Amino acid sequence: MYEYSIDNKNKKSLYDDLYNACEAITHGETDAVANMANVASLLWQYIPQLNWAGFYRIVDGALLLGPFQGKAACIHIPLDKGVCGAAASTGEPQCVEDVNQFAGHIACDAESVSELVAPIKSSNGNVIAVIDLDSPNKARFDEQDIDGIIRIAEMLGPRLSESA
Ligand code: SME
Protein backbone atom coordinates (compact mmCIF):
# COMPACT_ATOMS: atom_id res chain seq x y z
CA MET A 1 0.00 0.00 0.00
CA TYR A 2 1.28 3.45 -0.90
CA GLU A 3 0.40 6.39 1.28
CA TYR A 4 1.54 9.90 0.55
CA SER A 5 1.12 13.06 2.53
CA ILE A 6 0.06 15.74 0.07
CA ASP A 7 -0.53 19.18 1.56
CA ASN A 8 -2.77 21.08 -0.85
CA LYS A 9 -3.27 24.17 1.28
CA ASN A 10 -1.51 26.04 -1.51
CA LYS A 11 -0.08 25.20 -4.93
CA LYS A 12 3.53 25.36 -3.78
CA SER A 13 3.05 22.71 -1.12
CA LEU A 14 0.81 20.68 -3.43
CA TYR A 15 3.38 20.51 -6.22
CA ASP A 16 6.33 20.04 -3.84
CA ASP A 17 4.59 17.08 -2.21
CA LEU A 18 3.30 15.73 -5.52
CA TYR A 19 6.79 15.87 -7.00
CA ASN A 20 8.14 13.90 -4.04
CA ALA A 21 5.34 11.33 -4.33
CA CYS A 22 5.89 10.88 -8.09
CA GLU A 23 9.63 10.62 -7.52
CA ALA A 24 9.19 8.04 -4.78
CA ILE A 25 6.70 5.85 -6.63
CA THR A 26 8.81 5.70 -9.81
CA HIS A 27 12.15 5.37 -8.02
CA GLY A 28 13.90 2.16 -8.99
CA GLU A 29 11.11 1.01 -11.32
CA THR A 30 12.20 0.52 -14.92
CA ASP A 31 8.86 -0.18 -16.59
CA ALA A 32 7.57 2.96 -18.32
CA VAL A 33 3.91 1.88 -18.39
CA ALA A 34 3.91 1.10 -14.67
CA ASN A 35 5.49 4.47 -13.92
CA MET A 36 3.04 6.40 -16.10
CA ALA A 37 0.10 4.51 -14.57
CA ASN A 38 1.08 5.37 -11.01
CA VAL A 39 1.86 8.99 -11.82
CA ALA A 40 -1.47 9.39 -13.67
CA SER A 41 -3.18 8.09 -10.55
CA LEU A 42 -1.35 10.54 -8.26
CA LEU A 43 -2.04 13.54 -10.53
CA TRP A 44 -5.71 12.61 -10.74
CA GLN A 45 -6.05 12.00 -7.03
CA TYR A 46 -4.38 15.16 -5.78
CA ILE A 47 -4.74 17.95 -8.37
CA PRO A 48 -8.18 19.51 -7.91
CA GLN A 49 -10.67 20.40 -10.66
CA LEU A 50 -9.54 17.89 -13.29
CA ASN A 51 -11.64 15.76 -15.59
CA TRP A 52 -8.69 13.96 -17.23
CA ALA A 53 -5.06 13.31 -16.30
CA GLY A 54 -2.65 11.12 -18.18
CA PHE A 55 -0.05 10.46 -20.82
CA TYR A 56 0.37 10.23 -24.55
CA ARG A 57 3.56 8.59 -25.85
CA ILE A 58 5.26 9.21 -29.17
CA VAL A 59 5.08 5.96 -31.13
CA ASP A 60 5.93 5.78 -34.83
CA GLY A 61 5.88 9.55 -35.23
CA ALA A 62 2.51 10.25 -33.63
CA LEU A 63 1.01 10.42 -30.16
CA LEU A 64 -0.52 7.25 -28.78
CA LEU A 65 -2.76 7.12 -25.72
CA GLY A 66 -0.95 6.02 -22.57
CA PRO A 67 -2.00 5.40 -18.98
CA PHE A 68 -4.59 7.88 -17.74
CA GLN A 69 -7.49 8.56 -15.39
CA GLY A 70 -10.79 9.95 -16.62
CA LYS A 71 -13.09 9.16 -19.51
CA ALA A 72 -11.93 7.02 -22.42
CA ALA A 73 -9.97 9.23 -24.81
CA CYS A 74 -8.73 9.63 -28.39
CA ILE A 75 -6.14 6.95 -29.15
CA HIS A 76 -4.06 8.51 -31.95
CA ILE A 77 -3.11 12.19 -32.20
CA PRO A 78 -0.92 13.42 -35.08
CA LEU A 79 1.92 15.73 -34.02
CA ASP A 80 0.38 18.61 -35.95
CA LYS A 81 -2.98 18.33 -34.20
CA GLY A 82 -4.35 19.38 -30.86
CA VAL A 83 -2.82 20.83 -27.74
CA CYS A 84 -0.91 17.60 -27.15
CA GLY A 85 0.52 17.66 -30.67
CA ALA A 86 1.62 21.28 -30.17
CA ALA A 87 3.48 20.38 -26.95
CA ALA A 88 5.09 17.33 -28.51
CA SER A 89 6.16 19.01 -31.75
CA THR A 90 7.48 22.23 -30.18
CA GLY A 91 8.89 20.67 -27.01
CA GLU A 92 7.24 23.52 -25.09
CA PRO A 93 4.45 23.30 -22.51
CA GLN A 94 1.02 24.42 -23.69
CA CYS A 95 -1.41 26.10 -21.32
CA VAL A 96 -4.79 26.80 -22.92
CA GLU A 97 -7.36 28.85 -20.99
CA ASP A 98 -10.25 27.92 -23.28
CA VAL A 99 -9.81 25.01 -25.66
CA ASN A 100 -12.75 26.24 -27.73
CA GLN A 101 -10.48 29.10 -28.85
CA PHE A 102 -7.54 26.80 -29.71
CA ALA A 103 -7.43 25.99 -33.42
CA GLY A 104 -7.10 22.25 -33.87
CA HIS A 105 -8.06 21.30 -30.32
CA ILE A 106 -9.17 17.70 -30.15
CA ALA A 107 -12.27 17.28 -27.99
CA CYS A 108 -12.05 13.90 -26.30
CA ASP A 109 -14.51 15.03 -23.64
CA ALA A 110 -16.94 17.88 -24.32
CA GLU A 111 -16.62 18.92 -20.66
CA SER A 112 -12.97 19.93 -21.03
CA VAL A 113 -12.47 23.69 -21.14
CA SER A 114 -8.88 24.36 -20.14
CA GLU A 115 -5.85 22.20 -20.70
CA LEU A 116 -2.20 21.97 -19.65
CA VAL A 117 0.21 19.78 -21.59
CA ALA A 118 3.92 19.36 -20.76
CA PRO A 119 6.42 17.52 -22.94
CA ILE A 120 8.52 14.74 -21.45
CA LYS A 121 12.03 14.49 -22.87
CA SER A 122 14.53 11.67 -22.81
CA SER A 123 18.04 12.25 -21.52
CA ASN A 124 19.13 13.23 -25.05
CA GLY A 125 16.42 15.89 -25.32
CA ASN A 126 13.96 14.14 -27.62
CA VAL A 127 10.27 14.42 -26.74
CA ILE A 128 9.07 10.92 -25.91
CA ALA A 129 5.67 11.62 -24.33
CA VAL A 130 3.44 14.34 -22.89
CA ILE A 131 1.56 14.78 -19.65
CA ASP A 132 -1.96 16.05 -20.36
CA LEU A 133 -4.24 17.61 -17.75
CA ASP A 134 -7.81 18.69 -18.64
CA SER A 135 -10.20 20.74 -16.54
CA PRO A 136 -13.89 21.54 -16.89
CA ASN A 137 -13.09 25.04 -15.58
CA LYS A 138 -11.96 27.93 -17.75
CA ALA A 139 -8.38 29.15 -17.13
CA ARG A 140 -7.87 26.49 -14.46
CA PHE A 141 -4.06 26.39 -14.85
CA ASP A 142 -1.58 29.14 -13.96
CA GLU A 143 2.19 29.56 -13.78
CA GLN A 144 2.44 27.51 -10.62
CA ASP A 145 0.62 24.60 -12.26
CA ILE A 146 2.86 24.89 -15.33
CA ASP A 147 6.04 24.95 -13.20
CA GLY A 148 4.82 22.07 -11.05
CA ILE A 149 3.99 19.84 -14.00
CA ILE A 150 7.22 20.72 -15.84
CA ARG A 151 9.25 19.65 -12.80
CA ILE A 152 7.45 16.31 -12.69
CA ALA A 153 7.86 15.88 -16.47
CA GLU A 154 11.62 16.59 -16.21
CA MET A 155 12.04 14.08 -13.40
CA LEU A 156 10.09 11.44 -15.33
CA GLY A 157 11.95 11.78 -18.65
CA PRO A 158 14.88 9.48 -17.88
CA ARG A 159 12.61 7.14 -15.93
CA LEU A 160 10.37 6.57 -18.94
CA SER A 161 12.96 6.53 -21.69
CA GLU A 162 15.41 4.15 -20.08
CA SER A 163 12.80 1.44 -19.89
CA ALA A 164 10.61 2.24 -22.92
N1 SME B 1 -7.54 17.70 -25.98
C2 SME B 1 -6.31 17.07 -26.37
C3 SME B 1 -6.54 15.63 -26.74
C4 SME B 1 -6.37 14.67 -25.64
S5 SME B 1 -7.61 14.68 -24.54
O6 SME B 1 -7.78 15.99 -23.94
C7 SME B 1 -7.44 13.52 -23.39
C8 SME B 1 -5.66 17.83 -27.49
O9 SME B 1 -6.23 18.75 -28.05
O10 SME B 1 -4.54 17.48 -27.83
Q: Pick the residue with more confidence: 58 or 104?
A: 58
More confident residue, 124 or 35: 35
Is residue 163's pLDDT more than 60? no
Closest-CA residue, ligand 1 atom 5, reads 108
Which ligand 1 atom is at minimum distance from the Cα of 134? 6
Give the model's pLDDT for residue 23: 97
Write the DSSP assignment of 65-99 as a string of letters.
EEEEEES---SEEETTSHHHHHHHHH-S-EEES-G
How much is the pLDDT for 63? 98
Is 164's pLDDT higher than 60? no
pLDDT 10s digits, 145-154: 999 999 999 9
What share of the chain has pLDDT > 90, as a percent? 85
Give yes or no for a contact between 161 and 123, defined as CB atoms under 8 angstroms apart.
Answer: yes
Q: Cα–Cα distances in Å, from 31 out to 37, 159, 160? A: 10, 8, 7
Instruction: Give the confidence band of 49 by pLDDT, cuts at 50, 70, 90.
Output: very high
- Residue 109's pLDDT band (boundaries 50, 70, 90)? confident
Residues with CB under 6 A from ligand 1: 52, 73-74, 77, 82-85, 105-106, 108, 112, 115, 132, 134
pLDDT at residue 162 is higher than 70: no
- Ligand 1 geometric centre to CA of 66 (Å): 12
How big is the CA angle at 78 (ends 66 and 33), to the nearest 5 degrees? 15
Distance from first CA to last CA of the chain, Å, rounded? 25
Measured in Å, residue 1 CA sits from the centre of ligand 1 at 31
